[in-house]
A = this chain, B = another copy of it.
Amino acid sequence: MPVVTIKVTREGTTPDRQSVTAEEKAALIKGVSELLLEVLHKPLDSTHVIIEEVDTENWGWGGLPALEYRKQRSQ
């Protein structure tokens, strides 16, 4: 019965993408479900995975909106 929530910023893994792709989401779901089966013996069909994409201006880190903080860090 595990419930796993994955919060990530809404961004693509390559410059031409604006968000996580359906394939990447499916890989996250598969990977997390198999991990819970392996480590805690939870049957696949008892695990729920919820992916929440958060706009970058809604995610703060280092006291700043995430993109500004990353820019500052990389300088």
Q: List 19 A-B contacts (CB under 8 A).
A: A1-B61, A4-B6, A6-B36, A7-B50, A24-B39, A24-B40, A25-B60, A29-B63, A29-B64, A29-B65, A31-B31, A31-B38, A31-B39, A32-B32, A45-B62, A45-B69, A48-B61, A49-B60, A50-B54
Closest to A22 in B: B57
Interface string of A30-71 (1 = CB under 8 A from B): 111111101111101101111111100111111111100100
In the complex the two chains form, is A2's CB within 8 Å of B13's CB?
no
Q: Which residues from chain B contact A4 at a C-beta distance below 8 Å? A: 4-7
Output the least CB separation between A12 and chain B (Å): 10
Q: Which residues from chain B contact A32 at a C-beta distance below 8 Å? A: 32, 35, 60
